Structure 1
Amino acid sequence: MSVPLYQAKAELFRTLGHPVRIRVLELLQDGPKPVRDLLAVIEVEPSNLSQQLAVLRRAGLVTSYRDGPLVMYSLSTPDVADLLAAGRRILGTVLTDRDALLDELRAAPDPATGTVPAVAVPAVAVPAVGGPPGTGGAGRAPRTPATNGSPTRPGR
């Protein structure tokens, strides 16, 4: 029994739904790279990178081969780079539209009072993909103190 096309597409996009995987694909756009070079740039634990590379390989987005002692990875098709470029264009459009909407909101008079609000609408911060160095690259949010002063523990 074959999988419907929409289901296969959903699986493809789920595979792309991890910052480390996206970063690997971005780095491989310039050509094949050994794992050690990917590790140097991405700054994640070797086991984490290995796991993410395995997911990309199973999905057919990357291929691997040995070049002497090195394990090399490359994009399986130039279409992967095209998909990343399309994602970047979409993000540019979406974020531009949000900025325009925020500018309009800041400049528009309040319908209730007819005046422009004295307090500006705060800008929306867009987190960087990958997070700051040393966080494992997963863009994890820092823990915040609970109301009783003790740190919260996600999932508990």
Structure 2
Amino acid sequence: MTTDNPRQPSVTTVPLYQHKAEFFKTLGHPVRIRVLELLSEREHTVAELLPEVGVEPAHLSQQLAILRRSGVVTSRREGTSVVYRLTSPETGELLTVARSILTALLTDRAGLLDDLRPEAGPTPHG
């Protein structure tokens, strides 16, 4: 696929690492992460997501639109409701791996903090 605009590279000329960076930028918002965690469990309507995410409806709608445009989630209309789901179950797996990595990092940091704390010993009296 090529483009008529010489300043804008075609999708095929952009290195994979740049696509990955854009993907991670899409994930780089707490509301979007929470939505993806919920959708990794099952499909949700906007009404179901709202109390779980705890933001204003307009803000949730904005974040869902970003996820939809990026292709991470898809939606369908059921009556008056819009139902969202992950386009790929691997997104949920990625969040699980991220949780595992963060748990290990935080555990290491907690251990380091424990090592830096002074030993409990006699308190000097002045």
TM-score by length of structure 1 reads 0.67
**Misfit runs of 4+, over 6 Å:** none
Q: Which amino acid aligns with 1:64?
A: S
2:38, 2:57 → 1: CA distance? 16
Deviations along 1:76-130, one digit per CA (max 9) or x if unpaired, are: 111000000011001001101101111111257xxxxxxx9x7xxxxxxxxxxxx
State the SS of the aligned residue for 2:74. Answer: strand
Where do residues 67-106 of structure 1 align in structure 2 (5 Å cutoff)?
Answer: 67-106=78-117
2:77, 2:56 → 1: CA distance? 21
More helix by proportion, 1 or 2?
2
Q: Which amino acid aligns with 2:89?
A: P
Aligned to 1:12: 23
Aligned to 1:141: none
- CA positional deviation for 1:39: 0.9
2:66, 2:44 → 1: CA distance? 17
Paired positions, count:
110
1:47, 1:93 → 2: CA distance? 35
Gaps of 5+ in 1: 109-115, 119-156
**Identical-residue share of aligned pairs (%):** 56
Gaps of 5+ in 2: 1-9
Instruction: Please provide the CA RMSD for this pair.
Output: 1.5
2:105, 2:86 → 1: CA distance? 27
